[in-house]
Structure 1
């Protein structure tokens, strides 16, 4: 069944119960007919909903705000659900009904003015096969505007949490196996998620999530095998490979696992760094607008790291806005990060990359029914309902890129101290994530003897094995960039006063001086701790870290002790437990490569 643009309502079953509001509303004497008019679609999970079991509901709109969810039972009683509101765009409402009545129910999605935007009747059923139900109630055969809206809303809910909460998982597995977060958990009702492996790294993460969504909803999957690029050209990709097993009802866990194994052997960071004007790609660049940068959008930095947007937090009168993303690391950990210079690296002088925000290139059905990938010319047409193709990012300097995003995230501007605190929070977030990475290396050497081999040259940042799992050269370069961004905050007020609320009273120069004083105070107040080799913890302030910035130019080698990797001075009490050191030949190479970190500039391949 195809879906037209607009709003659609999705229903799934799970043990999570958000509950119903206490208020009950009597049915109208002459209720309007409940129809699917092409703008609404309803899902059930298990695909065959059971009476007496939980029923989860999500309404998604790609075009307008939606205000309420109402459930009506066969006896005429109506209940207004108490949904979680997210977005937008897309806008979504999600709630869970504790028990599906044996007589079924009718669901309505209401607009702000109280009119019905979507309606569908749901009846318990337990007789068809998964393939039959997918055929009758599936999302369709292609990725259209409604499909993309559902995918975006699913991604947002999957990683949703309070904005100030530090989200860090050992892998993707606990996320997908959490029925409270994963709207598609146990969607087929056969415990298909219970033992599902989910350990993608940064390049694999977007592909894994896209394929998982396609698996559950019966959509096709596409990928290309790409090169890694060269010093003077971005990666190029081969012919598209389209997999349609899920569309044909072959949705066993083994089928999905087979596809994931194929994807993880085929894709890498070069898959997202393709040239901005290239058509033979898995991703295409989009414009820097709120509507284009939806959850599920991928960010490819010029040096190989990949992140995925998961949530916008609007600016308020008392708190700054945020743009949040997730990424995966070589050790398979998945964490949520906020947009800023220290996390989203951008450069306009790296010939080997087409960096920036990109969307998956959609598989579309032509009027003749042929499945194919949309090209850049087609995607430049706003009538598709999809984010439009745009090379805007390729025309911006790093300074202009970050200023544009700053204005998009905080359109009202920020008080200088609020902007500083957001940047300081982001730096602490990166430091806490690095704590976990260094601890992983400490744990490894407690169980293994020997030395992890160190690659040569640019391979330092792109390799496999123990070095990829436990070293931190990419993370440490981003950390150095983050330190530079914090130190640059006072001067940024002078360069970009339009990003700050100065109220026409304080001059940019005066605001700079006040922020410099505030900076000296705050870096001594904010602190964190790390695990030393002897199992004890040591506390560092941000001031300590900034003073040790040169040490972080050579702190990425997992063969060094934790104390050395955090810049402790040999002979100091902090350094006392250090008994592991990188071999001398590795130290010599690190000295040669130090200039890359000092200048915060990745080498060409």
Structure 2
């Protein structure tokens, strides 16, 4: 009788053998040896250390809506939603991040730019709606909004977008962690010792910039990596200090690109060293670098706006680059594993500035003036304005600007800025923060802080809004000067430029409005004209009623504010007046005072009187 083999015994033998091998790859090799399969093992492809950006290339090959999961996604929750913020274990089965390619190719960078451009152009107003809009080609592979909500604040926003795309495409990423301040100079140390300055302990505003003490590799090689865990890690570890790195070094996650089309692109990052971050989503034909950012409430997206120093201040190179690109990463020595269908092993390396083809530090100046100051040479024209240098370099075609059109854009930007304040202030009321007693001390700098202050206060944005009248006036003066000089690059077809400026401003002041809900939930509408005049009275503190947050002074509007019956809160409000008069966001001014200390120090912390915020009168008198 012929012997028979029981298949389960054979497979049991093979499985048992596989338990004694060191890695899944070795187990696969054993199976290949027995069955004669597998062929030659796939080798790591050559990586491209200098990806180039070609705007005419379509890396998607027309497949933008393709489901990378092949429509095979299972519902790991069985219809049961988690807590909404990714803390539920069921997400672990859905967010698996494996390494499909150990470097970013040219096509990957192009696809990332396409991804960010589409999200930005979609007009989405929250982080979650951005990711669930039709602009996101991966939306159908994500958990539903009932199962998970995407969120981000401003510093996390570029890391969130980049990591999401890298996860969906099996690409590597690196995140700097444990940021430490670079040492002070002897002169700085002496200034502190002499009592002339107070040491800056907040790493977000370090005097000489930072460097990371460690770096997180994604996906991790030593353990399972889940995007939803990474999402929380980014939220907990990334902050504006992560970008406060001198780009002339190789320390950081970013490099400064050349100021030209293609180098600055959708996905580039905008950094304001005073504490804000945005992401470029488009470049317009007239040279505007369009930016959107996530707000501190971690849910809202800012109005789309053109890059300018109004919203994104600039500082010395040691404090970080003004426009940045993610530094290319490669996992060197990674080997393809047939068992897991991914790359394993290898070592993370970030390319140096010398290896990056479009690295440049020209944003800090490409020439000098006679007095030795940095300046910009644009085809023989010397300017001190980085804004002009940037726009001329990004402009498509002959450089010409419509004077009235430019001023109207300026006015719309002011309107949008007040609109973005509504949700930040309203959340403080709806979440009960405004009803709490005022904190016993202010943060060491009102432009920093943590907890409820970090989430619901508005001092930095309010400084910017207080400068909106000065900036609008400066724009009008500069445009008028170009017309008076008959500069052919500036077009104006009217007869009375001053009157046309006033008309354009008046139209926006009256047509633009915001609506907030008072403490009782009743709607209160304010025009931009009213808002500008109220700015010195608008409280930035999250522990004040919403009426004071919007600068109410009339008895009827204040009638719903409970703070009027709280003597301590009103003392805080009055003591903060000179801080509300500040016109510069100076993070080196110490403000960590108690109420009594603040009342004593108030005169030294800001002007006694506010500036004139009557835009129409100033246009009439100063143009």
Common topology (TM > 0.5): yes
1:600 offset after TM fit, Å? 4.9
Q: CA 1:297/1:131 → structure 2, altered by over 3 Å: closer, same or farther?
A: closer
Aligned to 1:421: 408
Q: CA 1:160/1:516 → structure 2, altered by over 3 Å: closer, same or farther?
A: closer
Aligned to 1:168: 125
Determine if the alignment matches structure 1 residue 344 to structure 2 residue 311: yes
Aligned to 1:579: 562
1:222 offset after TM fit, Å? 0.9
1:334 is aligned, of 295, 301, 315, to 301
Aligned to 2:369: none
Aligned to 1:357: 323
| 8 A Cα contact 1:287 1:393, kept in partner | no
Q: Alpha-carbon deviations, 1:199-235, whole Å to 9, x = none?
A: 2221122222222222222222212221326553112
Aligned to 1:219: 171
1:357 offset after TM fit, Å? 0.7
Determine if the alignment matches structure 1 residue 546 to structure 2 residue 532: yes
What SS class does the counterpart of residue 294 from structure 2 fall into?
strand
The 2-side partners of 1:536 and 1:559 are apart by 20
Q: CA 1:416/1:470 → structure 2, altered by over 3 Å: closer, same or farther?
A: same
1:276 offset after TM fit, Å? 2.7
The 2-side partners of 1:333 and 1:358 are apart by 23
Aligned to 1:402: 387
What SS class does the counterpart of residue 335 from structure 1 fall into?
coil
Q: Which fold has the larger relative contact order, with Cα–Cα distance below 8 Å and residues 6 or more apart in sequence?
A: 2
Q: Alpha-carbon deviations, 1:54-81, whole Å to 9, x = none?
A: xxxxxxx9425269xxxxxxxxxxxxxx
The 1-side partners of 2:435 and 2:423 are apart by 21
Aligned to 1:373: 350
1:378 offset after TM fit, Å? 1.5
Q: Alpha-carbon deviations, 1:140-162, whole Å to 9, x = none?
A: 1112332221222122223332x
Q: CA 1:604/1:358 → structure 2, altered by over 3 Å: closer, same or farther?
A: farther
1:530 offset after TM fit, Å? 2.5
Q: Report the structure, 1 or 2, having the larger strand content.
A: 1
What SS class does the counterpart of residue 389 from structure 2 fall into?
helix
1:308 offset after TM fit, Å? 0.9
1:141 is aligned, of 82, 88, 102, to 102
Determine if the alignment matches structure 1 residue 325 to structure 2 residue 311: no
What SS class does the counterpart of residue 563 from structure 2 fall into?
coil
The 1-side partners of 2:305 and 2:436 are apart by 37
Counting only pairs closer than 5 Å after superposition, residues 69-80 of structure 1 correspond to structure 2 as: none
What SS class does the counterpart of residue 433 from structure 1 fall into?
helix
1:418 offset after TM fit, Å? 0.8
| 8 A Cα contact 1:295 1:309, kept in partner | yes
| 8 A Cα contact 1:130 1:249, kept in partner | no
What SS class does the counterpart of residue 451 from structure 1 fall into?
coil
Counting only pairs closer than 5 Å after superposition, residues 229-240 of structure 1 correspond to structure 2 as: 232-240=207-215
Q: Alpha-carbon deviations, 1:435-472, whole Å to 9, x = none?
A: 12111122123x88422527535432222222222211
1:273 is aligned, of 224, 237, 244, to 244
RMSD after superposition: 4.1
1:346 offset after TM fit, Å? 2.0
Q: Alpha-carbon deviations, 1:496-536, whole Å to 9, x = none?
A: 569985448889xx645642454345423433332222322
Aligned to 2:429: 442
Aligned to 1:469: 455
Q: Could you tell me the TM-score, scaled by structure 2's length?
A: 0.64
Determine if the alignment matches structure 1 residue 241 to structure 2 residue 216: yes
Q: Alpha-carbon deviations, 1:318-347, whole Å to 9, x = none?
A: xx9562323232343233421244753223
State how many pairs are aligned.
465
Aligned to 1:303: 274
1:491 offset after TM fit, Å? 0.8
| 8 A Cα contact 2:509 2:529, kept in partner | yes
| 8 A Cα contact 2:434 2:545, kept in partner | no
1:413 offset after TM fit, Å? 2.8
Runs of 4+ in 1 over 6 A off after TM superposition: 129-135, 504-507
Aligned to 1:57: none
The 2-side partners of 1:336 and 1:525 are apart by 17
Aligned to 2:139: 185
Q: CA 1:390/1:452 → structure 2, altered by over 3 Å: closer, same or farther?
A: same
Q: Could you tell me the TM-score, scaled by structure 1's length?
A: 0.66
What SS class does the counterpart of residue 163 from structure 2 fall into?
helix
The 1-side partners of 2:322 and 2:547 are apart by 35
The 1-side partners of 2:108 and 2:240 are apart by 25
Q: CA 1:236/1:569 → structure 2, altered by over 3 Å: closer, same or farther?
A: same
Q: CA 1:593/1:505 → structure 2, altered by over 3 Å: closer, same or farther?
A: closer
Structure possessing the higher radius of gyration over alpha carbons: 2
The 1-side partners of 2:507 and 2:53 are apart by 45
- Give structure 2 stretches of 5+ with no counterpart: 1-44, 46-51, 71-92, 181-202, 335-345, 366-373, 377-382, 591-623
The 1-side partners of 2:271 and 2:350 are apart by 21
1:359 offset after TM fit, Å? 0.9
Deviates more, 1:219-228 or 1:324-333: 324-333
| 8 A Cα contact 2:270 2:312, kept in partner | no
Aligned to 1:565: 549
The 2-side partners of 1:95 and 1:145 are apart by 17
1:270 offset after TM fit, Å? 0.7
| 8 A Cα contact 2:255 2:324, kept in partner | yes
Q: CA 1:219/1:604 → structure 2, altered by over 3 Å: closer, same or farther?
A: farther
Aligned to 2:470: 484
- Give structure 1 stretches of 5+ with no counterpart: 1-37, 39-60, 68-89, 102-128
| 8 A Cα contact 1:288 1:393, kept in partner | no
| 8 A Cα contact 2:277 2:293, kept in partner | no
The 2-side partners of 1:234 and 1:355 are apart by 11
Q: CA 1:589/1:273 → structure 2, altered by over 3 Å: closer, same or farther?
A: farther
What SS class does the counterpart of residue 419 from structure 2 fall into?
helix
What SS class does the counterpart of residue 208 from structure 1 fall into?
helix
Q: Alpha-carbon deviations, 1:520-578, whole Å to 9, x = none?
A: 454234333322223222332222222233334xx21122222222222243x333332
